[in-house]
């Protein structure tokens, strides 16, 4: 599919009379390069979000099991994926501005823009998929946060009940447990 879009995009950008003045071959090559890089970054971002959603699902299961070591490992993995998402987004934002600038004044010569807007269908579908994945990630992350808060409250309650239990209280040898009645002084 990407190859077909590449050919359609290349053909659309390379066709004569695209804009008021025909762009130079360098401009066309730059536009195509921007589009390809933008699409690649959107695809990478989508893959990172898929990984993030999988980690959030596994994290939910671990929270339910209550394994703190496994939970810590998944939290560290989650932090790494989120950092990757933010670093890719820092590259996407200026590239999207360049992409929009390259498309301004662009009139397609074929049916590259079938959806009726000014972006190729694949780019639009990637952006739509990313937006829905972002929303799903927020929902799952919030769910996990609530589950973790609930689990922490349960653990605090358990600890508090153990502290107040007279049968589990540790007794010190120096506590008022009574006095000695005989002392051996023979030595």
- Which fold is adopted by the domain 2-15+22-163? Methane Monooxygenase Hydroxylase; Chain G, domain 1 (1.20.58)
Instruction: Check if the beta carbon of residue 31 is closer than 8 Å to that of residue 13.
Output: yes
pTM score: 0.65
- Alpha-carbon distance 177 to 187, whole Å? 25
For residue 124, what pLDDT is reported? 87
CA–CA separation, 27 vs 13, rounded Å?
9
Of 34-38, 49-53, 109-113, 177-181, which range is least confident?
A: 109-113
Residue-wise pLDDT for 125-184, tens only, equals 899 999 999 999 999 999 999 999 998 898 888 888 888 877 765 655 555 555 666 777
Q: Could you report how far apart the first and last alpha carbons of the chain are, in Å?
A: 95
Return the pLDDT at 24: 80
What pLDDT is stored for residue 104 in this prediction?
Answer: 74
Q: Where are the domains of the chain?
A: 2-15+22-163
Q: What is the DSSP letter of 22?
A: P
Cα 161 to chain centroid, rounded: 38
Task: Please tell me the distance from the alpha carbon of residue 142 to that of residue 138, in angstroms, as a whole number.
Answer: 6
Q: What is the mean pLDDT of residues 89-97?
A: 91
User: Measured at the alpha carbon of residue 141, what is the angle toward residues 137 and 144, in degrees to the nearest 5?
Assistant: 145
Instruction: Write the DSSP string, 130-168.
Output: HHHHHHHHHHHHHHHHHHHHHHHHHHHHHHHHHHH-TTT
Distance in angstroms (rounded) separating the CA atoms of residues 152 and 63: 10
pLDDT number for residue 139: 95
Is the pLDDT higher at 128 or at 18? 128
CA distance 121 to 40: 14
């Amino acid at each position: 599919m990407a190859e077909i879009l590449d050919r359609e995009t290349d053909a659309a950008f390379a066709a004569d009379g695209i804009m008021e003045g025909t762009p130079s071959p360098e401009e066309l090559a730059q536009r195509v390069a921007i589009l390809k890089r933008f699409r690649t970054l959107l695809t990478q971002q989508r893959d990172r979000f898929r990984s993030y959603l999988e980690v959030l699902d596994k994290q939910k299961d671990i929270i339910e099991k209550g394994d703190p070591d496994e939970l810590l490992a998944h939290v560290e993995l989650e932090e790494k994926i989120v950092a990757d998402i933010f670093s890719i987004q820092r590259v996407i934002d200026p590239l999207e501005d360049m992409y929009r600038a390259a498309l301004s004044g662009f009139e397609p010569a074929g049916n590259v823009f079938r959806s009726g807007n000014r972006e190729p269908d694949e780019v639009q579908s990637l952006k739509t998929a990313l937006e829905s994945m972002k929303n799903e990630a927020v929902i799952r992350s919030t769910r996990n946060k609530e589950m973790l808060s609930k689990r922490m409250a349960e653990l605090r309650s358990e600890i508090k009940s153990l502290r107040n239990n007279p049968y589990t209280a540790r007794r010190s040898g120096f506590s008022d447990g009574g006095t000695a009645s005989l002392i051996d002084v023979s030595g």
